[in-house]
Chain A
Amino acid sequence: MHHDLALQQMSEDDDRSPPLDLRCASINKTRNCSGGISASGSSTSSSSSSSSSIPVPVPIPITEYQSPYPDQVLENVLENVLHFLTSRRDRNAASLVCKSWWRAEAMTRSELFIGNCYAVSPHRATRRFRRVRALVLKGKPRFADFNLMPPDWGAHFTPWLSVMATAYPLLEKVCLKRMSVTDEDLQLLAESFSGFKELMLVCCEGFGTNGLAFIASKCRQLRVLDLIETEVTEDEVDWISCFPEGETCLESLIFDCVECAINSEALEKLVARSPSLKKLRLNRNVSIGQLYRLMIKAPQLTHLGTGSFSSLEGDPELDYVSAFAACKSLVCLSGFREIIPDYLPAIYPVCANLTSLNFSYANITAEQLKPIISNCYKLQIFWVLDSICDEGLQAVAATCKELRELRVFPINAQEDVEGPVSEIGLQAISEGCRKLQSILYFCQRMTNAAVIAMSKNCPDLEVFRLCIMGRHRRDHVTGEPMDEGFGAIVMNCKKLTRLAVSGLLTDRAFSYIGKYGKLVRTLSVAFAGDSDTGLKYVLEGCPRLQKLEIRDSPFGDAALQSGLHHYYNMRFLWMSSCRLTHRGCHEIARAMPRMVVEVIRFEGEEVIDEYVETLYMYRSLEGPRHDAPEFVTILRADG
């Protein structure tokens, strides 16, 4: 499935523990908050707010702070013990105990997670953490996926790579999300790290098959090459043929998002000489006939993306059923990009083993789904198009008692069309899938009653994202706003950490979120709320809030002011098409010198009135970035 454990960790938010705050650096300028330990040149790993401290302008070398009675044995023991500490939150906590723990932790942290590439500089990160083997780096905010951010905003991988090329020669693994990556970057990466093993690029862009060719040909130890929802330009390079001859170490090859033709003969040979290959996700240029030939060479696969799942002219009629039957270890199935439903029965042999099934590109009906889903009793993750209608969801609810994650995407992503799924499907899922933890549901109409039912039936919900596509839609049965439904979710789902709201919502809905959403870390708001009060409820009520993304909602400067106590604890705040003024944003910048306050406008447009088109702000140890394009204005604290 898309979300391996590593990716799940990537999408998790920051600390659960109450953070140390950078507040004292700014609000209480007279008070010197630097204690003896924290005033050293320690820098914050931008992943967490708990290891914050006030950075001094000149980094102080660690050797100056040796304790008067060095206990080398204790340090060695500590380093050995810390090797077992893998969670970054635990490590952040450990690093705050005292200076020697800070040092030991810094020397033993092997996976570096940077949640915002601009919160800390590559130099600062590499100076503190000396022995990093794996890097996870995230760039643009999520709303960039929906064209709300102009291209070329930033998040370039190059500066990170150029520093790490010398700082981390033993680097093995790089995971990037929403970063801009070039072919030259991929070339440098391939040439700099002789032991490089894993590359995962999620929602990235800026490179082409040229770059992939470098990776394929030069990374002799490559185990994982995963391209997930990433744009790859077609340079007409046959990158598959660039893998070296002989047996490979490949365990995972995921390229279902790559919109280029593939040399299928070269791919067959590659698969045949990759005995460790467990995950293979093909793009939609691979026909079902080609899929067959690949499958019979790799019956050991656990994760398969089937490509187009339709036939080309000249594809013989093959025994697809037996090809699937031979894959006894298959647990995760996706693809079906241009599905011919007649071929669906081929997957019957694997249904009973599937824990993850992605039909979100398959335009199939309820009738076509039922024979499949009725055998998928182990299914935990299911992505699907709303073409299956409420009836299809009822079939899912009837069988998939182990379902943890459901995503229902719209086949017709427009407002004001007749939608095939509704509150009926949601209700059915809530009644049948009691173990549900995560849901993303696109629909045209909904009722509070169904949402309330889900809040009661699915107490394990951690992620609730409901997108009623018509803006400002009411409960279509009662005519009420959707306040009570979302209120019930925050009230009843005690584990809720991520929430996306939609439909007609008044400030009341936000009062519920502020009152009950104590664990909420990520909140997405669009076309909702009545006044500043709504946002105030959230900023004042949600202590764990890390990521707040808001668009087209009537929140203004006063609301923005109400979050001053909290912004240093957050990864970012995004507000576009709201009622913020330049003056209001300037005030924030003045009050919070360690926030980078970006005002983004589109395409050199002049200001309309005094309102800000987009505010994107985030904490940073580095101050304003130097690579901001001309349509980004970074407001200065002294400005």
Chain B
Amino acid sequence: MERLVKYESDDLNLKATELRLGLPGSDEPEKFSSRSNKRASPEISQESKSNSSVSYGGNDERDSAPPAKAQVVGWPPIRSYRKNTLQAKKNESDGAGMYVKVSMDGAPYLRKIDLKVYKCYLELLKALENMFKLTIGEYSEREGYNGSEYAPTYEDKDGDWMLVGDVPWNMFINSCKRLRIMKGSEAIGLGCA
């Protein structure tokens, strides 16, 4: 039996992406009536809680740092020596970034982003939305980004194209070679469990 469920806009939508054993279809599939700006996965919610006090460089003393916006490569134009020197006092991480290219269907040129800047999918997707001025729908394990105009995908180490969000975050950043924001219609074949 299918059931439409309405979600509040601040609901983390845990149920839909809950990792559990069981055949697909053994529980009621849920549809999402509206896009919310929060992407949901169990990892995301946990990480955003534990990282709420992380500040991203600078003198950020607020309790919950907003997710870092997309860091375009080489912008602002500060030499990495200077950037690293100032940030070294704040973070322990080294200056080496984990740069991957991001392409979007229909856009003529690529962006590059540093995956190390983000701590979870939520931040990454927000950053992508901001960078390309679009909205990516919600992720669900079952349906991917069904219902949204764009779906973020990535090429992993094996050369396979996967849906962003399918694997735990750490696994993702270690295997992601590049990102591609596909038109939603094209991404249907990917990521279904």
Contact = CB atoms under 8 A, between A and B. Distances in A.
A107 interface: no
Contacts of A145: 77, 79-80
A357 B78 CA distance: 20
B109 A416 contact: no
A320 B192 CA distance: 68
Contacts of A411: 58-59, 86
B139 to A, nearest CB: 24
Contacts of B70: 415
A337 B68 CA distance: 26
Given A146-B75, A416-B69, A467-B76, A337 B59 contact: no
A162 to B, nearest CB: 29
B27 to A, nearest CB: 40
Most central of B72, B74, B79, B82 by chain A CB within 10 Å: B74
A471 interface: yes
A414 B71 contact: yes
A510 B73 CA distance: 24
A385 B78 CA distance: 12
A467 B110 contact: no
Contacts of A387: 59
A549 to B, nearest CB: 10
B192 to A, nearest CB: 27
A467 B68 contact: no
Interface residues of A, number: 44
Interface in B61-119: 68-83, 85-86, 89, 99, 101, 103, 108-110, 112
Contacts of B99: 147
Nearest to B112: A602
Contacts of B169: none
A541 interface: no
B69 A148 contact: no
B109 A613 contact: yes
B57 interface: yes
B56 interface: yes
B77 A608 contact: no
A596 interface: no
Given A229-B81, A608-B109, A608-B110, A412 B59 contact: yes
A257 interface: yes
Nearest to A609: B108
Contact of A257 (B57, B60, B81): B81
Contacts of B79: 145-146, 203, 229
Contact of B101 (A414, A417, A527, A605): A605
B58 A417 contact: yes
A524 B99 CA distance: 24
A303 interface: no
16 contacts: A143-B74, A145-B80, A387-B59, A413-B83, A414-B57, A414-B68, A414-B76, A416-B69, A524-B77, A551-B74, A552-B109, A577-B109, A579-B108, A605-B178, A608-B103, A608-B110
Interface of A: 143, 145-148, 203, 229, 231, 257, 284, 337-338, 360-361, 363, 385, 387, 409-417, 442, 467, 469, 471, 524, 526-527, 551-552, 577-579, 602, 605, 608-609, 611, 613
